[in-house]
Amino acid sequence: MAGTRLVWSGLEELKAALRQMPAALAQEGSAIVYAHARSAQQDIVAGYPSVTGRLRGGVRVTLEANARFGAGAVLKSAAPHAHLYEFGTKRRQTKRGWNRGVMPKAPLDKQAIPKIIRWRVRMYSQLAAMLERHGLKVSGSFGRAA
């Protein structure tokens, strides 16, 4: 084996590509994450009643400040009564006993959380497809796409 020699042509190019891969994946992944967060936002807003501007206007998406290799977005409602619409209330009354009524729970097709879950499953599927396009193997289950 003393005279054996291994020549790897393109090794420096491969090393450079591997160094760039995390940044490229993070950038492409961020675009996927943000696009799905915005789609979920639009889906939620479209399901809210039109008579409530604060409920619709309170649904916001912000990009998370991540490290070089991360991707993230936050979807939340800034409307203080969003939970009342989503989950409803029991019979309520003031300290003096005045009836304030019952707020019924939003119908399932109008609730935000099921919509968020559906968009998250779609996002995970697209992120997995992106990784596979870049030559990585992805395994596992992301839930049921709807």
What are the structural domain ranges in the chain?
Answer: 21-132
Residue 25 has pLDDT above 90, yes or no: no
Nearest in space to 82 (alpha carbons), one of 111, 112, 55, 117: 55
pLDDT value at 34 more than 50: yes
Judge contact between 29 and 127, C-beta under 8 A: yes
Query: In which element (H, E) is residue 75 found?
Result: strand 73-77
Whole-Å CA distances, 11 to 65, 97, 127: 34, 79, 28
Using the CB atoms, write b or e for 30-51: b if 16+ within 10 Å.
bebbbebbebbbeebeebbeee
CA distance 134 to 128: 10
Question: Measured between alpha carbons, how far is 100 from 126 in angstroms, rounded to an integer?
Answer: 46
Tell me the average pLDDT across 32-56: 90
Instruction: Give the global pTM.
Output: 0.76
31: DSSP letter: H
Asked if pLDDT for residue 143 goes beyond 70, the answer is no
Instruction: State the residue for tokens 């479209």.
Output: 46
**Residue 69 has what pLDDT?**
62
Interval 69-125: pLDDT, tens: 677 899 999 998 888 889 998 988 899 999 888 988 999 999 999 999 999 999 988
Question: Whose CA is closest to 57, among 37, 21, 82?
Answer: 82
State residue 146's pLDDT score. Answer: 45
The three-class DSSP label of residue 111 is coil
Confidence of residue 67 (pLDDT cuts 50, 70, 90): low
